[in-house]
Amino acid sequence: MAGKPTVYDVAAHAGVSIATVSRVLTRPEDVRASTQERVLAAVRELRYVPSGSARGLASRRTGVLGLFLPGVDAVEDLSDPAIDADRPVEVRLDPARPGQRLGADLYFEAVLRGCELEAWRQGFSLMISVGRGRSPESLEIALSDLAGKVDGLAVIAQSAPHDVLKRIGDSIPVVYLAGQRSGDDFDHITVRNREGMRALTEHLIDAHGIRDPMYLTGPFDSPDDAERYGGFAEALEGRGINPTALPVLHGEFSRERARAVAADLIAGGRLPRALVCANDQMALGVLDALGAAGLRVPDDVIVTGFDGIDDGTRSTPRLTTVRQPMLELGRAAVRAMVARLNAPDLAPANAELPVTVLLRESCEGPLPPLP
């Protein structure tokens, strides 16, 4: 056969219509098994590869969804467990589990994997772009270029200008992930940052008598951190403690930076009884510095984090944290994009996923392992 085989060639070779070939390649569950076998045999024999661009012209879709990340922070589980978005924040002990299987390592990796899994489930591919290190002009160009290649776009909070996303949202579905509600321009999926940090801080005050915790904050423009600090302050105020009288330290969500901040506190003899960190990576940096100085956690200093990354289960001691459903955050973003593709006139949706406070050894001391 001269030239590349076409869908017409496959249909003729299999003795079926072009529409049947299309159904076998896109919706095989709608076609009898015997017909599927004939069409796929023709595809293999002719070495036919469907044209994505031609299919896109016909359907006005690319079959690709986009994810735009502010940076990359260096699962085989395909189940889709239901999450009760109305349940209250749970505070519970988290004993060590021998042989416990770990999933993704870091926040962005887990969100990315969730997007990948749900895109696969929904029959889409995923295209990823990263905003780190770009000028405002090149950022807008990168966003526009990505938007022109995909059917929908998920964006992590603060990684792209709102006006650019608003313009893109006039053409394709845009889903805003994390941070505070972005208004009525986009679907928005976040987690209960404020409630989770409030519950954790209340536990420190009520169960451990902590009256003067220090807060280690992330970047000044992080909406997630603003919500977490809000929960920290609410817990203090609710127990009669003035949060503005307590120091706030800047760790930039960085393990290295938090390690240096903690080393300065140690050197200056200013360590508090508890350090409440706005993410797990900073908490791990604090543990690094305390361990290097020969200080005991939690006997000398209690350390807590937020996110629930797997490194917190491998640290010594294991890290008390607020676990957010990072994998589910990515999956929910894809579901929102697909829902809006199928029903463009839906009102913007705002979903807030639950979190869980996991009390581990960095706060509670030795915990018995589960049998």
pLDDT tens-place string over residues 68-117: 987 544 333 334 455 666 777 878 777 765 544 333 347 888 899 999 99
Identity of residue 81: P
Residue 314: C-alpha distances to residues 67, 100, 278, 356, 359 (Å): 29, 11, 19, 18, 14
Rounded (10°) CA dihedral 192, 195, 201, 204: -100
The pLDDT score that the predictor gives to residue 90 is 78
The pLDDT score that the predictor gives to residue 184 is 67
Low-confidence stretches of the chain (pLDDT beneath 50)? 57, 72-80, 99-105
pLDDT tens-place string over residues 188-243: 999 999 999 999 999 999 999 999 999 999 988 788 899 999 999 999 999 999 99
The pLDDT score that the predictor gives to residue 94 is 72
342-363 b/e with 16+ CB inside 10 Å = b?
A: eeeeeebeebbbbbbbbbbbbb
Take residue 274 and report the two structure tokens written for it: 């508890």
Maximum Cα interatomic distance, the chain, rounded to a whole number of Å: 83
Residue 250: C-alpha distances to residues 52, 112, 179, 222, 247 (Å): 48, 27, 19, 12, 10
Task: Show me where the domains of the chain are located.
Answer: 7-59, 64-192+326-351, 193-324+359-364
Sequence length of the chain is 371
3-state secondary structure of 13: helix
CATH class of this structure's domain 193-324+359-364: alpha beta
Contact 146, 69 (CB under 8 A): no
What does pLDDT average to over the chain?
86
d(CA 251, CA 24): 53
The pLDDT score that the predictor gives to residue 127 is 93
Helical H runs in the chain? Answer: 7-14, 18-26, 33-46, 52-59, 107-122, 136-147, 162-169, 193-208, 223-238, 255-267, 280-292, 311-314, 326-342, 361-364
Q: Does domain 7-59 have CATH number 3.30.930.10?
A: no
Contact 214, 249 (CB under 8 A): yes
The pLDDT score that the predictor gives to residue 99 is 47
**At the fourth CATH level, which superfamily is domain 64-192+326-351?**
Response regulator (3.40.50.2300)
**β-sheet bridge partners, residue 125:** 64
Contact 215, 249 (CB under 8 A): yes
The pLDDT score that the predictor gives to residue 202 is 98
The pLDDT score that the predictor gives to residue 101 is 39
Backbone angles phi, psi at 351, to 5 degrees: -115, 140
The pLDDT score that the predictor gives to residue 109 is 85
The pLDDT score that the predictor gives to residue 103 is 36
The pLDDT score that the predictor gives to residue 14 is 93
**β-sheet bridge partners, residue 127:** 66
Asked, colleague to colleague, whether 64-192+326-351 and 193-324+359-364 share their fold, the answer is: yes
Take residue 155 and report the two structure tokens written for it: 């964006």
